[in-house]
Every structure is written in C-alpha cells, then in structure tokens.
Amino acid sequence: MKSKIVVVGAGPVGLAFALGAAALRNTEVTLIERQTLSLARTSEHFDTRVYALSPGSKIFLSHLNVWQKLPAARVTDVDAMQVWGDDLANESQIKFEENVAVAHIVEHAALMNALIDSLQTRDNIRVVTNTSVSAISDLQTPRQLTLSNGIEMTADLIVGADGARSATRDLAGITAKKFDYESDGIVANFHIEKPHGNVARQWFSGDSVSGKSILAYLPLPNQQISIVWSVAKIHANGLLALNAEAFASATAEAGQHALGKLTPASKVARISLQKLTARDWVQPGLALIGDAAHAIHPMAGQGANLGFADSRVLLGALQNRSALSVMGDRRVLRGYERARREDAASMGAATHGLRALYLSDAAIAKRVRNQGLNVLNRMPLVKALVMNHAMK
C-alpha cells in the first residue's frame, strides 16, 4: 500500500518538500494551499520579495531539478559582503574565497515559478488550492484531516509548512514561543547609479528618520538592488508616509550614498517581524518545517535557507528509515527534529543577540559591536562559522 503524505502550505519550503517526497518510494503526496497557485508573470520589474539563498540551498534545489529552471538572467551571485556598524567610518568587508559565491539572490516569483513548474512534471502529487485545514485528529496514526471545504482525508504523515501563523501547528495543539520585534521589514527595489559589484551591503546604523535600523542592499541584475530595511514600527510609519522620491533619498542617505542616486523601481512594502519557535516540531504522524517550526529576524537572510535544510533532512530521515517503520513513526521524526533544532536555534539566537547588542546604548556594547563587526574578517574561526552557515 502507498504511504500518504499531506503537505499543508505551498510556500517555497512546502513545495520543495512535496517535490522531494514525491520521489520517495511508494508514496503519494497531497499538497494543500490556502491561496491559488499559478505561475506568476515575470516582467521587467523584479519582485520585491527576494531570498539570499545559500550554496547549500542551491544544491538541494538542484537535486530537485528546480534550480535549473531559474532563468539565469534573474539570479545574482553575491561575491562579498560589506558591513558597517554605527561607527560609519569603519567598514568591515567580509571577503570570501575567490570565485565562490556566498549567496544567490533569487526573486520569490521566479523561485515559485520554478517550483510550480517542477510540480507539474509529477503525477503522484495532488494539489488542492483555495483550501485550508480546519481540523486534525488526535495523536493516533494514521492521522485524519478535515479541510475547510468539508473534505476529510487520512495521512500517514502530515507536514505543516504553512508559515509562521501555522494552522497545522495550532490544530495539532503545539504551542510556540513568540517574540514580537515591534518592527517592520520594509522591502523595495531601486535602480542604482553606481554598479553594485555583486556585493551585499548592510548598515547597522540609523538617524532621526529611521531610528536605529538595519538596512541591507542586495544586488539584483540590470543595475538594480533590493532592500530590506528593518525599522521600529513608529519609524516605519514615517518612512512609508514619504512619497517614492523622498523614500528613495532616505534609503540612499541611510546607505551612505554607496551606490549613488537611487531611483524607485517598485512599490514599497512592509512585513511585520517576529521570532518564533514551536515547542515541538514533531508528533506521531506530524512534522513542522520552515517558518511553521521557526521564524527568525531577517537580518541574516537565512529563513528560507533554514526551511530548505529542514526539508532536506526530513526527506533524508524518511528515505533512510528502517523497512519496518511506518512513514509517520515518531522515532524517525524525532531524528529529524534533533538534527535540525540546534541549527535553527543557533541562527535565531545569533540574530536576536546581535540585534539586542546593536540596540543597547551601553558604551561597552557599542565598542563590542563596532570592533566585533570590524574584526570579523581577521578572525578565521568566526569567518569560518559565518561561512559554514552560509554554505548550509
């Protein structure tokens, strides 16, 4: 008999997992998505939602035959990073080995198109859209689901990939520890006057307009950049009230005019920021992956990378389970949780801690953060750690 896997949530992480799961022996997959799922039209405008994908994510997506479907003209390699603390005169350049891209900037729409296109080549994935989950049975396996359209189904394994506000997590009775950053991630794209040189730039600084903020410039093709500006809500309201030109000037100013004049290339959008960790990631017949299990501050651009690593490790655990164990075996799923929890927790703690250090007014914190950013390049161990995480 075939094993039945139900994946809830067709974001990047759920789609990638569903593709990998469909390749497991004797398995059929049902993918449930609350919204419609269709190929986005790519235009000359770039999506404002972009991911800095690690070399590890690239390898995983290549194994799924998804990376090959990304149009080369819409992917930008990042060859180096420059970071400034609030001592703006002191920049710290983090250089990586030559010819090794530390990340690849990929638009959400292009990534989703490649994933959805791959989905259509699989005949053992059933996609149910415009539907969510309204009930999940208790801990007995196989588990039963009731969908919002009234349909009931049975699953050997339910995989919750439905993002930070996961209904799967809630319906399974799993609580989550949450921290509201009371900040927004403001995202927008700009045409730039000077070439970005495939360098990602980040400023831990601020002024009277943005308060203490964290601004990232991510390189895009065609002399453009995408920004993620993490700003306290009170300042975000002010920035979003500016007209397009004034917002572009404020963004250029906060980035020390490093790329000359910025000209708006998109609308400006905001995303509320929070940190979240699910108390349990697994139950008999159920596992959480991606933002449903953990959400972190976007300053390190690692959220989707962590989610792809979850997918990869869970697929490995399912593939390598003993012939006697069933798909939703709690011991198999616990192996996944053990393998992944520490990695996600350490990245969450690192971004959380760096933000707290940055926001602290204490003189010692100021010295540590400026010198800390500055010495990064001269400390092989720290650099190796950064590198190591980037490669995952």
- Kindly state the smallest distance separating residue 274's Cβ from ligand FAD, in Å: 9
Near ligand FAD by CB under 6 A: residue from 6, 13, 83, 254 = 13
Question: Per CB under 6 A, does 305 bind ligand FAD?
Answer: yes
Near ligand FAD by CB under 6 A: residue from 4, 6, 7, 9 = 9
Site for ligand FAD in 168-197 (CB under 6 A): 185, 187
Closest by Cα among 251, 201, 212 to 357:
212
Near ligand FAD by CB under 6 A: residue from 206, 219, 285, 301 = 301
- Kindly state the smallest distance separating residue 33's Cβ from ligand FAD, in Å: 5
Near ligand FAD by CB under 6 A: residue from 12, 85, 255, 328 = 12
- Kindly state the smallest distance separating residue 259's Cβ from ligand FAD, in Å: 18
Region from 8-16, 62-70, 81-89, 333-341 binding ligand FAD, contact rule CB under 6 A: 8-16
193 contacts 42 by C-beta, under 8 angstroms: no
Question: Per CB under 6 A, does 303 bind ligand FAD?
Answer: yes
Question: Per CB under 6 A, does 290 bind ligand FAD?
Answer: yes
Side by side, the strands of the sheet bearing 103-107 are 50-53, 103-107, 75-78
Question: Per CB under 6 A, does 79 bind ligand FAD?
Answer: no
- Kindly state the smallest distance separating residue 294's Cβ from ligand FAD, in Å: 9
Closest by Cα among 391, 363, 190, 172 to 283:
172
Question: Per CB under 6 A, does 14 bind ligand FAD?
Answer: yes
Nearer to ligand FAD, 142 or 185 (CB): 185
Near ligand FAD by CB under 6 A: residue from 32, 239, 262, 286 = 32
- Kindly state the smallest distance separating residue 94's Cβ from ligand FAD, in Å: 16
Q: What are the tokens at 249? A: 């000037």
Region from 188-196, 304-312, 353-361, 376-384 binding ligand FAD, contact rule CB under 6 A: 304-312
Q: How far is Cα 168 from Cα 151, in angstroms, rounded to an integer?
A: 16
- Kindly state the smallest distance separating residue 366's Cβ from ligand FAD, in Å: 26
Nearer to ligand FAD, 292 or 370 (CB): 292
Near ligand FAD by CB under 6 A: residue from 30, 76, 189, 302 = 302
Q: How far is Cα 78 from Cα 219, in angstroms, rounded to an integer?
A: 7
End-to-end CA distance of the chain: 35
- Crossing angle for the helix pair 12-22 and 108-119, to the nearest 10 degrees: 20
Region from 68-76, 161-169, 172-180, 357-365 binding ligand FAD, contact rule CB under 6 A: 161-169
Rounded alpha-carbon distances, angstroms, from residue 304 to 11, 54, 163, 308: 10, 9, 11, 6
Dihedral class, residue 89 (left if φ above 0, else alpha if ψ from -120 to 50, else beta): alpha
Provide CB contacts within 8 A for 381, sequence distance 6+.
none
Region from 70-78, 93-101, 294-302, 331-339 binding ligand FAD, contact rule CB under 6 A: 294-302
Name the residue whose CB lies closest to ligand FAD: 11
Q: How far is Cα 216 from Cα 201, in angstroms, rounded to an integer?
A: 6
Binding-site string for ligand FAD from residue 33 to residue 72, where x marks contact by CB under 6 A and - marks none: xxx---------------xx--------------------
Q: Which residues bind ligand FAD (CB under 6 A)?
A: 8-14, 32-35, 51-52, 132-133, 161-163, 167, 185, 187, 228, 271, 290-291, 298, 301-305, 307
